[in-house]
Amino acid sequence: MDIVKLTLTKVPELYLEAENITPDHFAGKTAQQIGELHVHLGNTTAKISDYFTVEGKGGATAADTKIIISGPTDKVKYIGMKMTAGEIEVQGNTDMYTAAWMAGGKIHVKGNVDSFCAIGMTGGEFIVDGNAKNYLAASYRGDWRGMQGGKVIVKGNAGSDTATFMNGGTIDIGGNVDVHLGTHAEGGKIIVRGNAKGRVGGQMVKGDIFVLGQVERMMPTYILKGEEEVELDGKKQMFHVWIGDMGERHGKRKGEIIYGKIYVPSGKAEAAAPAARAERKKKLTDKQLEQVKEAFKGQEPTVQQVRTYIYDTFDIDMKPMQVSRLIDGLKR
């Protein structure tokens, strides 16, 4: 396998659209030819070599090509869009549409990714070591085909609208997810190892969702069907099975209606009951307060920034109102 090394040397002033960074485009090209490929910044067109240093060369085919991207790539969009084979490894963070409409191969992002990653994915493997933002593995606006195949693994948290219109493939999220998980899903498998915020499986027709933590508030249109032993990660576990969405159309197989299923580990059913709202008063200790103060010293942070920081470091989900008071307090 031939390796192409891209290093971002010049941080773009706006955002860079780099849909040409895929093994499909790099295959059979020398470093110089790769450097000639286009990247876009607003209404201007530049070359990859204007922003990146290129080393190595592409393999004979896409499958023989591996791309290693390093440097501050936070502002680069569309990496690996529509790739069909080969491998991409990103050392840092990437922006939106990483692995969008991916059909094959492998992308490994060692940092965080932004929204709309892996949308409309049909195959391949997408691994994120950090967090993903909203619309992970969802569909493009108006499309009824979201993720249709392949595998998405996010080791951190994911945002809202994950797996909208999913109808195949597997998503594995190590952390928590925000609202609207698997909306309109018509197949596929989602595993959330942390907590889910709510509206899990809204309008779901078919498919499986595993939430190994808590579901903060189950949809009223899901009905507890009973306990079932299901194999997950190679070992059998007992799960409470919720079926639904009762408000949505459902197909029949052998005279039996097929519902979407949400699996919650047994023993956590109480927390998953719809009336129970996990709304404990959440406060920071003095030590944590000091840490927040230190982190935002001399800045004017927004409520969202502080909230995200608190969520990421202490795993406390504070209400925006609380955070805003906290910021006022710190200023004083």
Partner 1 sequence: MSKTCTDVICPFCGTLCDDLIVTTDDEGKKILNVENACAIGAEKFLHASDHSHRVTRPQKLQEDGSFKEITYDEAIEYTAQMLANAKKPSMYGWSSTNCESQSVGHEIAELCGALVDNTAAVCHGTTLIAVQNVGIPSCTLGEVKNRADRVIFWGCNPAHAHPRHMSRYSIFPRGYFTGKGQKQRKIIVVDPRPTDTASLADVHLQVEQGYDYELLQALRAAVRGNELTGDIIAGVPKEKVYEAAELLKSGRFGVIFFGMGVTQSLGKDHNIDAAIMLTKDLNDYTKFSIIAMRGHYNVTGSGQVLGWQFGFPYSVDLSRGFARYNPGETGTIEVLKRKEIDAMFVLGSDPGAHFPMECVKEISRLPSVAIDPHITPTTAICKVHVPVAFVGVEVGGNCYRMDNVPIEARKVVEPPEGMMTDEEFLKAVLKRVKELKAN
CB of 330 to partner 1, least distance (A): 18
Q: Is 129 in the site for partner 1 (CB under 8 A)?
A: no
End-to-end CA distance of the chain: 59
Query: CA nearest 214: which of 245, 181, 186?
Result: 181
Q: Is 251 in the site for partner 1 (CB under 8 A)?
A: no
Beta bridge partners of 190: 171, 209
Choose which of 220, 251, 320, 329 interacts with partner 1 (CB under 8 A): 220
CB of 179 to partner 1, least distance (A): 7
Q: Is 214 in the site for partner 1 (CB under 8 A)?
A: no
Cα 85 to chain centroid, rounded: 21
Q: 3-state DSSP call for residue 254?
A: coil
State the Cα–Cα distance between residues 202 and 200, nearest whole angstrom. 6
State the Cα–Cα distance between residues 95 and 76, nearest whole angstrom. 5
Q: Is 299 in the site for partner 1 (CB under 8 A)?
A: no
Per-residue x/- mask for partner 1, residues 193 to 212, rule CB under 8 A? Answer: ------x--xx---------
Interface segment toward partner 1; rule CB under 8 A; list 65-73, 219-227, 263-271, 291-299: 219-227
Nearer to partner 1 (CB atom), residue 106 or residue 184: 184
Choose which of 57, 106, 151, 180 interacts with partner 1 (CB under 8 A): 180
State the Cα–Cα distance between residues 87 and 3, nearest whole angstrom. 9
CB of 76 to partner 1, least distance (A): 13
**How many secondary structure helices (H) and strands (E) does the chain include?**
7, 19
State the Cα–Cα distance between residues 289 and 322, nearest whole angstrom. 13
CB of 99 to partner 1, least distance (A): 15
**φ, ψ dihedrals at 320, nearest 5°:** -55, -40
**φ, ψ dihedrals at 51, nearest 5°:** -115, -30
Q: Which of residues 154-173 bind partner 1 (CB under 8 A)?
A: 161, 165
Which DSSP symbol is given to 312? H
CB atoms near residue 54 (< 10 Å): 23
State the Cα–Cα distance between residues 120 and 101, nearest whole angstrom. 5
Interface segment toward partner 1; rule CB under 8 A; list 188-196, 206-214, 243-251, 281-289: 243-251
Q: Is 44 in the site for partner 1 (CB under 8 A)?
A: yes
Interface segment toward partner 1; rule CB under 8 A; list 59-67, 226-234, 269-277, 313-321: 269-277
Q: Is 140 in the site for partner 1 (CB under 8 A)?
A: yes
> Nearest-5° angle of CA 45, CA 51, CA 56?
115
Interface segment toward partner 1; rule CB under 8 A; list 48-56, 105-113, 216-224, 262-270: 216-224
Per-residue x/- mask for partner 1, residues 90 to 119, rule CB under 8 A? Answer: ------x------------------xx---
Nearer to partner 1 (CB atom), residue 119 or residue 154: 119
State the Cα–Cα distance between residues 143 and 84, nearest whole angstrom. 21
By CB under 8 A, the count of residues binding partner 1 is: 43
Q: 3-state DSSP call for residue 292?
A: helix
The contact set with partner 1 (CB under 8 A) reads: 13-15, 17, 40-44, 96, 115-116, 134-135, 140-142, 144, 161, 165, 179-180, 183-184, 199, 202-203, 217-224, 245-248, 273-275, 302
